[in-house]
């Protein structure tokens, strides 16, 4: 099936601008706020994608991808693979379009994400992480029927994410750096494509947790790598087992550098946002703040993309409680 895929090509600015008009009625133009930390810390601005209708940025790409399906493809229904946020995005967009949706979901996904997907009308097929990752590589799963919408290696999905880059440049024209979490690479490719097309002087940084950092390893080695010491963690929305070669080709022209942060640093970032800005962020959403606080992205202004807030409140309280001790 991979041989039938269209070759990887750059996401054009015109495609991102067209996607913006296409998804405007579905998504929220999310706000950006300053994280007030004082003069001894970097100037950090928070792009609050946790305020999307599904509480995660994935709705942008999903809405664009579903809107661009042909009528025969819609009639077949759609399916995707997800730890939760992409599944919610595709399910939400499919419901709006009157299309059936199935999600091959990682069985350890937070219950809050599972409940939201069910509420959006998605049929769920729970599987272990390694099974889901293999299905992502093969773009097939025996029990799933319909048109497959890849949650990151999809040109239209990525163009939808690029709309966030347009908003960032409008709301923070003085930005010197933008930091985005990396799971599969769709978010940073979309945002980076918009930023590099309009203001290439801005540095684009990717961030991963120490337990799952194949993009950083790939950058170090100069080629797509498998992360041999991968471990599951509460950062379920970022950090894959490997870097897909196609995504590596997409990311190379638009990402300047990669930062790896510890789980403790991530917990502290979650707590900091809750205390200073009253923001509930999931682990993946807090990675960019943790990365900004390392100082590796400079003094700012730095835009940290808070990619999602889908986390069980009990788990959230446990994590930020631990970070305080």
Q: What is the rounded CA–CA span in Å between residue 69 and residue 71?
A: 7
| Predicted pLDDT of residue 1 | 42
pLDDT of residue 133: 87
* pLDDT reported for residue 109: 84
* C-alpha–C-alpha distance, residues 198 and 261, integer Å: 29
Domains 11-53+161-324 and 59-148 share a fold: yes
pLDDT on residue 324: 65
59-148 under CATH 3.30.360.10, yes or no:
no
User: Would you state the pLDDT for residue 204?
Assistant: 98
Structural contact between residues 43 and 34, judged by C-beta atoms closer than 8 angstroms: yes
Strands 203-209 and 257-261 turn out to be parallel
For 123, what's the count of Cα atoms within 13 Å in the CB-facing half-sphere? 11
- Residues 217, 146: Cα–Cα separation, whole Å: 35
Residue 137's pLDDT is what?
87
Q: Which positions of the chain have pLDDT values less than 70?
A: 1-3, 323-325
Domain residue extents for the chain: 11-53+161-324, 59-148
pLDDT at residue number 325:
58
For tokens 């299905």, what's the residue?
A: 135
Q: Tokens 């939201």 correspond to what residue?
A: 116
Instruction: Show the CA angle centred on residue 115, arms to residues 286 and 289, nearest 5°.
Output: 5
Enter the tokens of residue 295. Answer: 């100082």
Give, for 20, the enclosing helix (H) or strand (E).
Answer: helix 13-23
pLDDT recorded at residue 260: 97
Per-residue pLDDT reduced to its tens digit, 115-124? 999 999 999 9
pTM for this prediction: 0.93
User: What topology does CATH give the domain 11-53+161-324?
Assistant: Rossmann fold (3.40.50)
> What are 306's strand-pairing partners?
48
Residue 181 φ then ψ, to 5°: -70, 150
pLDDT of residue 53: 95
Determine how many CB atoms are found less than 10 A away from the CB of residue 320: 21
Q: What is the pLDDT of residue 277?
A: 96
């Amino acid at each position: 099936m991979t041989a039938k895929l269209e070759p990887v090509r750059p996401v054009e600015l015109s495609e991102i601008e067209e996607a913006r008009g296409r998804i405007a009625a579905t998504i929220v133009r999310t706000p950006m706020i300053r994280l007030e930390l004082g003069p001894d810390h970097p100037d950090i601005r928070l792009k609050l994608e946790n305020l999307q209708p599904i509480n995660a940025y994935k709705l942008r790409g999903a809405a664009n991808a579903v809107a661009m399906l042909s009528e025969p493809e819609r009639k077949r229904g759609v399916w995707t693979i997800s730890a939760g946020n992409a599944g919610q995005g595709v399910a939400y967009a499919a419901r709006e379009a009157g299309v059936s949706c199935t999600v091959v979901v990682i069985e350890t996904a937070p219950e809050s994400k599972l409940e939201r997907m069910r509420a959006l009308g998605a049929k769920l097929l729970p599987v272990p992480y390694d099974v889901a990752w293999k299905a992502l590589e093969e773009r097939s799963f025996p029990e799933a029927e319909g048109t497959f919408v890849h949650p990151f290696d999809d040109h239209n999905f990525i163009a939808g994410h690029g709309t966030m880059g347009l908003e960032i440049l409008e709301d923070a024209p003085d930005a010197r750096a933008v930091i985005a979490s990396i799971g599969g690479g769709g978010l940073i490719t979309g945002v980076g494509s918009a930023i590099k097309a309009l203001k290439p002087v801005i540095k684009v940084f990717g961030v991963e947790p120490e337990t799952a950092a194949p993009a950083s390893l790939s950058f170090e080695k100069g080629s797509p790598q498998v992360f041999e010491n991968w471990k599951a963690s509460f950062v379920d929305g970022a950090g894959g087992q490997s870097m897909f070669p196609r995504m590596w080709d997409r990311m190379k022209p638009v990402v300047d550098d990669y930062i790896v942060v510890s789980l403790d640093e991530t917990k502290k970032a979650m707590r900091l946002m809750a205390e200073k800005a009253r923001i509930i962020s999931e682990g993946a959403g807090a990675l960019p703040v943790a990365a900004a606080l390392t100082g590796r992205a400079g003094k700012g202004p730095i835009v940290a993309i808070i990619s999602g807030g889908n986390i069980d409140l009990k788990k959230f309280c446990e994590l930020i409680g631990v970070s305080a001790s």
